[in-house]
Amino acid sequence: MNIVDTHSHIDMIEGISTEEIIKNAYDAGVNKIIVPCAYPHDIEKINELTLQYKEVYGLLGVHPSETRDWSDDLINKISTIVKQNKKIVGIGEIGLDYYWDKSFNDIQKEVFIKQIKLANDLNLPICVHDREAHFDTLKILKEHNKGSKVVMHCFSGSAEFMRECLKENIYIALGGVVTFKNAVKAKEVAETIPLDKLLLETDAPYLTPVPFRGTENQPAYTKFVAEEIAKLRGVSIEEISQQTTLNAHEVYNLGEI
């Protein structure tokens, strides 16, 4: 069984070495891990992780909550790294987050658009963070994305919003939330999404799935996400892992499976 964790902040997991994280993942059938960037000062760190570990791929970008630290100099910085390192496979995580602080929504939108354009210019996919900003996120993508594949990371919308995203050929990534007892929306999305548009993730060290909820998440736990989705759909975990792995390779151009 091969599984790809398409979104895992392994650089933020505490109390365990990167080597242990990767070994645990491999033992659980997770053989590729994509690490997104959140902060401008982490760009070099993510790049180095991908160069140090063959199982690790990276995304470069600035999280919406950190967009007040954006500088246009980052466009050249990211572009230079991408041209030198083929294991940087996308721009992310970028987008809009209206949950914590709505006081700088305009800055978030401006930086989101700039990073979409960067992805388009580099011919790379986009990993989107969308929290309580569904309408604006999709509107901006419709208006400004010119051909890059799009992944809605840690999808938190309804099945109805999922269908709107699918009209734009957007991929949907589900993580540990789908295992939570009361996660009605996530379970409905998992049950109804076309399998060729589904990706798996952990968002480690956050959103740890059952049965390890309450502890730090790690890529190895992607298998519990796959198991829950398989259970909800009445299919085998092998079917879920196989199709989502194909999808991850299709989106992020990860080479051989």
Distance separating alpha carbons of residues 257 and 244, to the nearest angstrom: 11
Q: What is the CATH number of domain 3-252?
A: 3.20.20.140
Confidence of residue 221 (pLDDT cuts 50, 70, 90): very high
pLDDT reported for residue 232: 98
Cis peptide before 205 (omega within 30 of 0): yes
pLDDT reported for residue 257: 80
**Model confidence at 113: pLDDT above 90:** yes
Q: Could you give the percent of the chain with pLDDT greater than 90? A: 97
Average pLDDT rounded to a whole number, residues 62-83 = 98
Distance separating alpha carbons of residues 180 and 8, to the nearest angstrom: 19
Q: Are strands 171-174 and 150-153 parallel, antiparallel or unpaired?
A: parallel
Average pLDDT rounded to a whole number, residues 151-157 = 98
Our CA angle for 233, 234, 239, nearest 5°, is 80
pLDDT reported for residue 111: 98
pLDDT reported for residue 146: 98
Token pair, residue 84, equals 């030198």
Residue with token string 């796959």: 226
Residue-wise pLDDT tens digits, 162-200 = 999 999 999 999 999 999 999 999 999 999 999 999 999
Residue-wise pLDDT tens digits, 19-33 = 999 999 999 999 999
- What is the pLDDT of the chain when averaged over all its residues? 97
pLDDT reported for residue 251: 98
Q: Could you give the percent of the chain with pLDDT greater than 70? A: 100
DSSP result, the chain:
--EEES---GGG--SS-HHHHHHHHHHTTEEEEEE---SGGGHHHHHHHHHH-TTEEEEE---GGGGGG--THHHHHHHHHHHH-TTEEEEEEEEEE-SS--TTHHHHHHHHHHHHHHHHHHT--EEEEEES-HHHHHHHHHHH--S--EEEET--S-HHHHHHHHHTT-EEEE-GGGGSTT-HHHHHHHHHS-GGGEEE---TTSSPPTTSBTB---GGGHHHHHHHHHHHHTS-HHHHHHHHHHHHHHHH-----
Segments making up each domain of the chain, as ranges: 3-252
Confidence of residue 256 (pLDDT cuts 50, 70, 90): confident
List the one residue out of 28, 20, 39, 40 whose CA is nearest residue 2: 28
Confidence of residue 100 (pLDDT cuts 50, 70, 90): confident
Distance separating alpha carbons of residues 3 and 123, to the nearest angstrom: 25
